[in-house]
Amino acid sequence: MRDLTEVPEEFGLVSFEDPDQPEATKINRKTARRLKQAYVREVKRQRVNYIPGPRYAVGGAQRAHNLRGGLDVLGNLRRATSYTVAAAYPLVASGSLGVPGVCMGTDETGGGGFFFDPWELYNANVISGLSMLILGSLGVGKSTCVKTLVSRLVLAGRRAVIMTDKKGEWMIVARFLGGIVITPGQRRINPLEEGIRPSTTAEGEVMTDEMWARMVRGRRLSLLTSCAEILEGEKLRANEHKAIRMALDLTVANAEEEGRDPIIPDMLKVLENPPADIDGNEKLRVAFEDMAATLSRMVDGDLEGMFDGESDQKFDPEAPIVVLNTKGLDGFSEDAKKIAYACTQSWAEAAVTSRDYGQRIIVYEEGAEALGDPGSLSRMVTQWKLAREYGICNVLVLHKLGDLNMAGDVGSKTHAEALSLLGDSDIRVIYHQSSDQMKPTREALNLTARECEKIEGFGVGFGLWQFGGRSFVVRNVMTKPEKPVFETDKSLKTGEGQTERQVQG
């Protein structure tokens, strides 16, 4: 094998001695030593890649780092700010979450698309819960964000339920996705329906007849108690609770003999004609009379025709999206609206708390309306706690965090329940907030000063997404077919493709 060790002579250097010219020999030796030192300095220490000579006529010697051998190039470490690096490498995008999902738009933090699916994120252990909170001032795009998320997840195979649609904006979305719309007031709903029986419990056990009966009874009692407390304006006393329990059990037994679900008029009939075995208990008899008078408002007055009979439209658990259009309740009194919310949500809850029909996303649009009713709030808290067991993703949409105070006075039980919704929401999306709302938002969501600065400067369609210990600035992007379906702030339009608020990057 040829020896590749380099020597100075291979650079064209020769060493000779002339006894007749000792001075020339001396000079020649000095020159040879100098060149040899240069060789050691330049070649042995590998400071050059090519030196002319006999051994380098074609491609150079096979030394390290001269591009003839392996490309083991070692670069020196450099430290720079992300701003400088972004300018030096403008085409480099940040890495994705590595989890499949629907495309929501562009990731403005590092470039590229932003893909999101709460169930996939949960399976990948990125998040520990399946609930979302979306905040945003009027007209900044939060509703469009929710519609984009719901529609694309439904098209990807999920199902959706819109629990409250105060503005009637989701009807066109339901038609777009092939779903159904149920309008309380125009459609009669029986809140005491048994609902759709799941095959298993939340713990995965086989649902027995006894378990199912206990679950249905608890749901019905919760609803009737909530309605009575709304109408009474105070908590029920012990005898009133007992009167409702006894009357419900008798009502259910009578309805089962007839082979149908109980209805509110059946309940009132039992309350107005209490069983004979309470004749000796005057306080309980009075409680029956009081509850009959209180709950009678559910079948007459401003709620007449809404909850006083069998449902004339069934909840289709296989529909891609079901919208409960509550826009028609705007002219009702506050008590009537609370009762309507309680009844419709309880009715829908009886259908969605089952894993037999796939994963669902449940949206509380204009969620402040539901927070004002203790019964609705209690059901929401339960749904947030059991989201993983039932495979549902809850989405609460608010204008600001101060809306949580609508649930009750600071320090009260209802206020604490409202705050628990915030604590149990692992995914938080914050759109533009006014400056006076930034301080409570920053403290409650533990935002950094830089994140607050971004939120205040957001334009339409930009939001800060927080989950899994990371944050992303996402610009929601609509496709051409989606735009007329999702856009609702038409009053902000000043021209084709323009809005009064300039979108900021």
What are the C-alpha distances in Å from 90 to residues 49, 75, 114, 157, 476? 32, 21, 18, 37, 22
Strand partners, 388: none
Burial of 30 (0-12, 13-18, 19+ CB in 10 A): exposed
What are the C-alpha distances in Å from 267 to residues 243, 246, 247, 257? 11, 10, 6, 15
Q: What pLDDT shows up at residue 321?
A: 92
Q: What pLDDT shows up at residue 267?
A: 92
Distance CA 427, CA 145 (A): 14
Distance CA 311, CA 69 (A): 81
Other CB atoms within a 10 A radius of the CB of residue 364 amount to: 23
Q: What pLDDT shows up at residue 491?
A: 41
Burial of 200 (0-12, 13-18, 19+ CB in 10 A): middle
Query: What phi, psi does 184 have (nearest 5°)?
Result: -60, 135
Distance CA 23, CA 5 (A): 32
Q: What pLDDT shows up at residue 291?
A: 92
Q: What pLDDT shows up at residue 383?
A: 81
Task: State the DSSP code for 200.
Answer: B
Report DSSP letters for 19-59, one per residue: TT-HHHHHHHHHHHHHHHHHHIIIIITT--S---SGGGSSS
Taking CA 462 as the corner, what is the angle to CA 129 and CA 89, rounded to the nearest 5 degrees? 100
The distance from CA 75 to its chain's CA centroid, rounded to whole angstroms, is: 43
Q: What pLDDT shows up at residue 253?
A: 92
- Residue bearing tokens 């907030």: 433
Distance CA 150, CA 422 (A): 20
Spans of the chain below 50 pLDDT: 1-16, 49-60, 69-71, 73, 491-505
